[in-house]
Amino acid sequence: MELIFEKSRDGRHGVKLPDKDVPAEGRVPARLRREKDAELPSVSEPEVVRHFTNLSKMNFGVDSNFYPLGSCTMKYNPKFTEKIASSEHFADLHPLQPQLIMGGMLTQGALEIISNLEKLLCEITGMDVFTTHPMAGAHGELTGVMLMAAYHRHKGNAKKFILIPDSGHGTNPASAAIAGYRIKTVSSDSNGVMDLEEFRRKIDDEVAGVMLTCPNTLGVFNPHISEICDLTHEAGGLMYYDGANLNAIMGKVRPGDLGFDIVHLNLHKTFATPHGGGGPGAGPVGVKEYLEPFMPVSRVVRRKDGTFALDYDKPLSVGYISPFYGNFSVLVKAYAYIMLLGKEGLVEASENAVLNANYLKEKLKKDYEIPYDSNCLHEFVVSAAKQAEKGVKALDIAKALINEGIHPPTVYFPLIVKEAMMIEPTETESRETLDSFVDIMKNIARMAERDPGKFADFPANMPVKRPDEVKAARDMDLAFTGTEKGAGG
């Protein structure tokens, strides 16, 4: 496919602006003006439309392909919630509009949505207070550990470490380190959960807290949660719940009831907002009441007259962690999703996610190794170790799935599984889609056995075939010089 610059022809245009017939006002200072015209392509309107339409066809997305991406959870985004968030009543709001002016409620509706969403998330998770400010899951992680650190500083506690299981999400150690802690890893036992005996040896009064993904990245629920929470609290630490996998237990059990003190949620993974792809996202954080003084500012509060306002008077707060209200449009989508499904619908969503994952696991277990073969929750991990003996690795299988029009699962994570492929079908996929995926995975397994050399050609039907992925990451060149066809592309 040609680049848009390669389609450019001098004098060609898609729109022609009328000549300026009014005097220039407020000229831009010369130091800020271009010395020469921007080097933009000259193309007609049909060429522009076709170019970007064809580009969009190259994308894998949950609207166009099955997307069983474990851990990151590419959950379908209902068009109902997209329509609500794009309503002019929300989309045309500006964060600098006053809350009240001359009796008019300019942003009262927006503040009420944030307040109501916080209350719903408290009810779903068993927390007492929520903030919607964090703008991504990892941002929520960092905020949660910052709250933990602020609490310990206020108490005068000398804490140095965070305990994290080796099956936890990969951003957990980064968030803990940025917040000023050192990390101690706890190994998994033969059942795929954090080893309780090793945990007992490592929990002490220098541990600030424990970051636990529940269920973990293997799709396994830890049966020792209550004991782990009790031991942590006895040592003076706090329990942090990585809510990336809440979709598996939503409506069945609340992290706050298990003993967790801090929760972060990925709205895209549980409440069907867009994933983000670098933004915009949302990762709200909830805490128990004793951690409320440390929450980020500003806080949405309801005044005695029933109106809503922003409260900045929080002397123990960790401060600002995002501008304004967070990603408001994403919050609107999550609020609409929760209101649409209601309590029963949220429970059903989790039940279907678990059912779909177990269905796939049972269908694939004869062709792929299942390292932890117990009943899974919303996701499970298969190993391509058997196929790797024939020279076909997890990455090769991923490329073969692309060739079949399916986005591959997460590969090589969690690190504790050799040749890992983490599969998460979510709750909205039909049995027909799941069966089609099973057939393709079985065919791939047979091909690995009979003709492993064929995988070197996959994907054969994509604009980009098999790049040198290490070189692409370390020696990235996105510049277009125009000196040769496809230069830098």
Q: How much is the pLDDT for 126?
A: 98
Give the position of tokens 């220039």: 24
Instruction: Read off the DSSP letter of residue 450.
Output: H
Q: How much is the pLDDT for 3?
A: 87
Q: What angle do CA 43, 44, 50 make, to 5 degrees?
A: 95
The model carries a pTM of: 0.89
Q: Identify the helix (H) or strand (E) that includes residue 224.
A: none
Using only the alpha carbons of the chain, give its radius of gyration.
26
> What span, in angstroms and rounded, lies between the C-alpha atoms of 239 and 20?
64
Torsion, CA 110, CA 115, CA 117, CA 123, rounded to 10: -170
Q: In DSSP terms, which residues pair with 436 in a beta bridge?
A: none
- CB 285 within 8 Å of CB 263: yes
Q: What angle do CA 432, 403, 406 make, to 5 degrees?
A: 35
**99: closest CA among 293, 318, 301?**
301
Task: Catalogue all structural domains in the chain, each as residue range(s) with its CATH number.
Answer: 83-339 (3.40.640.10)
Q: How much is the pLDDT for 486?
A: 39
Q: How much is the pLDDT for 484?
A: 47
Report, as ranges of residue numbers, the positions in the chain whose pLDDT lies below 70: 24-26, 99-105, 276-279, 480-489
Instruction: Output the CA torsion sign for 409, 413, 419, 423.
Output: negative
> What span, in angstroms and rounded, lies between the C-alpha atoms of 373 and 395?
22
Q: How much is the pLDDT for 467?
A: 81
Q: What is the strand order of the sheet 380-383 is part of?
A: 380-383, 420-423, 410-411
Give 221: exposed, middle or buried? Use CB within 10 Å, 0-12, 13-18, 19+: buried
Q: How much is the pLDDT for 324?
A: 78
DSSP H stretches of helix in 126-208:
137-155, 171-178, 196-202
Q: How much is the pLDDT for 57?
A: 84
Phi, psi angles (nearest 5°) of residue 10: -55, 135
